[in-house]
Amino acid sequence: MTGAVTVRARAIGKCFRRVHERPMRVREALMLLTTRGARVEDLWAVRDLSFEVRQGETLGVLGSNGSGKSTLLMLVAGTAFPTEGVVSVRGRVTALLSLGSGFHPDMTGEENILLAAGLVGIPVPAARRLVPKIIDFAELGDAIDTPFRYYSSGMAARLGFSVAIHVSPDVLVLDEVLAVGDIAFQTKCLAELKRLQRRGITILFASQSPAAIGDFCTHALWLEAGRLVRAGEARVIANAYLEATLGGSVASAEPLSGML
């Protein structure tokens, strides 16, 4: 089920600046950045990307480390702003971009649930009603009363994913954090994502796994060095990427379960 455009990007780019010298004082840093001939380099993590995602579609973002996948998802999620171009998103966006992102280390799991729900505009009474469902899906039990700083990477992934899917997103943005954790929970997450797809939720999913992209997504972008190599139907793009990098095909690759 697809509908109106929910995510639209027009010629977006994100530039970071790197200073090759590392001055010791703030005054020296200011002098370095304002002095002609200072060794400052522009690093474009993403450049000249345009695409649209319609309601109910799942867009995969495929590429190697440093290809710009995470930066692109940050621009869609609104945790970073483009240096050039425009990104527009319709509806409530929830994102799982890195382990622990958006959670306060000194707050308990339950307190972080209420905080995360509040940040996306859910009133406190409604957020409290969501807490038992989120805890049950994350399978955290009594650990929900433990400060987040003591959570393992697997526990952090469980809580983050459970919060993201239970706060009624219109657009769900997922980086490769689901690679953390046991196979059983990954399978459970995949089943839930399939359910969200059937409900018409728009999903953006970044991965280095062409099998995951080909199996789970409807469309895909292949990025290298921040630029678009190819876009189209997910399995076609996944096969092209796999053949270019490994000389194989998605059909002969491992199944999605365990590769998220």
Per-residue model confidence as pLDDT tens digits over 33-80: 555 555 677 899 999 999 999 999 999 999 998 999 999 999 999 999
Is residue 206 predicted with pLDDT exceeding 70?
yes
Domain contains 117: no
Domain contains 101: no
Euclidean distance between CA atoms 35 and 56, whole angstroms: 50
**Which ranges of the chain does DSSP label H, i.e. alpha helix?**
26-34, 69-77, 109-119, 124-138, 153-166, 183-198, 210-216, 234-245
Is residue 216 predicted with pLDDT exceeding 60?
yes
Is residue 3 predicted with pLDDT exceeding 90?
no
- pLDDT tens figures, 8-29: 999 999 999 876 555 556 666 6
The whole-number pLDDT of residue 140 equals 92
- The residue assigned the tokens 């929830």 is 94
Burial class (CB in 10 A: 0-12, 13-18, 19+), 101: middle
At 257, the pLDDT band (50, 70, 90 cuts) reads: very low
Euclidean distance between CA atoms 50 and 53, whole angstroms: 11
At 71, which CATH number? 3.40.50.300
Domain contains 258: no
Q: Answer yes or no: are the C-beta atoms of 207 and 183 closer than 8 Å.
A: no
Domain contains 143: no
| Averaged confidence pLDDT in the chain | 86
Domain contains 247: yes
Euclidean distance between CA atoms 69 and 226, whole angstroms: 8
Domain contains 126: no
Is residue 173 predicted with pLDDT exceeding 50?
yes
- Listing DSSP states for 183-252 in one string gives HHHHHHHHHHHHHHHHTT-EEEEEES-HHHHHHH-SEEEEEETTEEEEEEEHHHHHHHHHHHHTS--GGG
* Structural domain for 214, as ranges: 5-91+170-252
Domain contains 236: yes
Euclidean distance between CA atoms 137 and 163, whole angstroms: 9
At 212, the pLDDT band (50, 70, 90 cuts) reads: confident
pTM, rounded to two decimals: 0.83
Domain contains 196: yes
**What is the count of structural domains for the chain?**
1
- pLDDT tens figures, 100-153: 778 999 999 999 999 999 988 899 999 999 999 999 999 999 999 999 999 998
